[in-house]
Structure 1
Amino acid sequence: MAVAARATSPEAPCPGCGCRSSRIHGRYHRRLADLAVAGRKVVIDLVVRRFLCETPECGRRPFVDQVEGLTERFARRTPVLRRTLERLALALTGRPAARLAAHLSIPTSANSLLRLLGKLPDKNPGTAPRVLGVDDFAFKKGHVYGTILMDMETGARVDVLPDRTSETLIAWLRDHPGVEIVCRDWASAYAEAVRTVCPDATQVADRFHLWKNLCEAVEKCVGEHRRCLVEPTEDMTADTADVEAGTAADDEQSSRLVDELRENRVAVPV
C-alpha cells in the first residue's frame, strides 16, 4: 500500500548554521517504508524540498528539509519502523528476527538487522550489575580471544573486553564497582581478577561448565567400572522377549475387551 504525501513547510532551518531559509532550490521524491497496516506493507511516497542557505559563511548551501518524526537523513525507513526492527533484532538477532519481521509484513534481511544493531550507541554503565557473568569468546578462533560481560539477571550484554587476561578484567572491575556474585568458567585468570578486586563477591560456575564437568565425571566413572556391567546372555535375552510378548498380549486383550463393551453400549471411560 502506497501513501502519497508532500512537505508544505514554507521554510526550514539549515543543519549547518541553524538559520532559517525560505529559498527553495528544488524538489525530489523519497520512498520510506513504514509499519504495516492491516497486514499490508506500507510505503510512503514523500515529496520533499531542497532549500538554499542564505548565509554566505555557511558551508552547506543546499540542504533538504527533514520532516520531524517521519524522515531522517539518508534513511529509507520511518523512525518508528527503525525502532521496531531494532527491538526485534535485540530480542532475536538476525535470521529469527527476519522471519518474524516477514510475518509482520515488514520484511527485511538478517544482514540489515545486524547493521541496525551495529549502529546502536554503546552503553557505558557506571556500576557493574549485581550478578556478573564472565566468559571468553573468539574474535578469530584459535588466534584472538576476548571477554564478554553479561548481566545474568536480565541477560543483557554489559561490555566486551579486548582480551581474556586478568589485568584487563581487574581494571574493568575497579572502574565498575557493585559486583556481588560472579558467574564464570574455570579460567584461573578470571578467578584471580575477582579475588583481587572483589574479595567478598561469591564466585559460582556457570550452567554450561557444570553440565560439562558432570558429563565428563559420569563418563569417567562408567569407563572405570565397565567390568562391573554384566554382559547379556541368551537366557536374559529370552526372558526379555517373553516379557515384551506378554505385555503385547495383555494390550491386545485389553483392546478386544474395550471393543466388546462398546459394541454392547457399555460406557467405557477413556
Structure 2
Amino acid sequence: MAVAPLRRGLPIDEPREGPPSPREAARWITTDPHRRNPHINERLPRLLDHCPELKLTHDLVRRFATMLDNHDAAPLPGWLSELAGSGLAPLAGLAGALHEDRHAVVQGITTPYNSGVNEGRITDVKLQKRIMAGRSGVSLLRHRVA
C-alpha cells in the first residue's frame, strides 16, 4: 500500500516538520545568528511570528548578547527595566536577581576576565565529594581530584 502511489505516479506528501522542543527553541534564541544553521535561520522567524512572548524574549536576549560582545554595560539599566516590565514572570524574576547583583553583572560585561576555570574545578570537587558520600577524608578526595 505504501508503494502503490509511487507506481501510479501520484505525488507523495512531503513530511511535515514538527514544532521545536523548548530546549531547541532556547538554543536557537541564544545562539549567535551568524553561527546558526541556515535551516534554523529559516525556521526561527516563523516560530517567533507565532509566539509574541518568544519574540520579545528573543529581542531581549539578542540585546544582552550585544552588550556582552561590545563589553558595554551602559544600556544595562534600560534593558533591566524592559526585562522587569516584560510581563513574563520568569524574565521579571531574572531582572530582579540581576538588579540585586548589578555591580557584578557590570563587571562581568565590561571585563574580559572570568572565574570559569575555578568554578569548573569547584564543581568537580563537589561532584567527587558527593560520589564518595562522605566515606573518606580530605586525603582521598585530594587523590581523586588530582
Flag the structure with larger Rg: 1
More RCO (CA 8 Å, sep 6+):
2
TM over 0.5: no
TM-score normalised over the length of structure 1: 0.16
Structure with bigger helix share is 2
